[in-house]
Chains A and B, each alone.
Chain A
Amino acid sequence: MKEEIIIAGFGGQGVLSMGKILAYSGIMQNQEVTWMPSYGPEMRGGTANVTVILSDKKISSPILSNFDTAIILNQQSLDKFESQVKSGGLLIYDPNGITRHPVRKDITVCTIDAVDISANLGNSKAYNMVVLGAFLKKKPIVTLENVIKGLKKSIPERHHSLIPMNEKAISIGMEKVNDINKI
């Protein structure tokens, strides 16, 4: 198994931490992982993206130009990364604020209304976990049990009381993911 993922959106949407939780989940099931962020001033409200690779074997390049999955949370990122999804791959995006939607027919395209869902949950910070749930529904590369373990590892102990809420957000995300284009 090898899954190459790009997660991209605005700074503050939890892009980097979603990638970190995913990477930690991989470690929990003894996989090799890399997490390579864009870094720098982009952190302050600009675009943020992270390349996450999970693999059963040693990972060489942490920087890629093509991905198995693109998880897209804003228009700029959709414009940039749609073409970089491998044929037969997966693109998940939040349609909130998107005016130019994906056009490719050779990849699976799904939406997740994570802004609305997390608002209904009463916790906008659960946003990225809703998106993660949607992804895991489409590609169950890590078990929910290992995601919870990964969560425990990647968030400070003083915030562990938030884990049940995150778990709930993941399962709602799994439920609410919509297929737009199936291949």
Chain B
Amino acid sequence: MDLKDIIKPENRVYAKTPVLTENVMHYCPGCSHGTVHKIIAEVIEEMGIQEKTIGISPVGCSVFAYNYVDIDWQQAAHGRAPAVATATKRLFPDKYVFTYQGDGDLASIGTAEIMHACNRGENIVVIFINNAIYGMTGGQMAPTTLIGMKTSTSPYGRSEELHGNPLKITELIAQLDGTCFVTRQSVQTAAAARKTKRAIRKAFENSGQSKGTSFVEVVSACNSGWKLSPVKANEWMVENMFPQYPLGDIKDR
């Protein structure tokens, strides 16, 4: 029996967006990246902007985002995606330009770049994946790692005295006059993913209307880095990450 025989068009309730490629994702099962990639691809398809969208991928697990979302991509140096996006958007003002960055990329090495791009109000979209750990390099402490959380560079747990506090960068970003929309979302349930999709859609629409920078944080699970099963990782995230990084719109104008 052929696939066509199983899936009859009249019975079809779901199809993968063509903006996602056929490549099998390298992300660990349970990782949030895949869901966020899918949401971005769907928004691009629904808005009909595949030809007009340029993505800037970071250094980190999602360095290979270009393998999965079928648009033109620029892969930036660690933390510099907002600078790369700034020039791209200014030189192609009619394009939709977004950065896709993790917590190490955006909130540690690239703090200056994200602050100033947002402060200038670049008409770009920033997707910020916050899983409180460096996934790609093997689970080191991130700027957003919670107090007490064990990582390979905080093996006895993050301590305020030794490592400093978790950085609430999204709250800082919301203070900047250049940002028009700053929100914190998650994708651990279908309902949460739907809300995230609405936020990302709004961010892209803002960019089209030149309203300033839209910043969407997605509090995410890194079950491999956290050394938990996918289900446990989501539970741990809800219990521990959400109190430190509460969900919802921080700014919308």
* A touches B (Cβ under 8 A): no
Please report B residues at the A interface, Cβ cutoff 8 Å: none
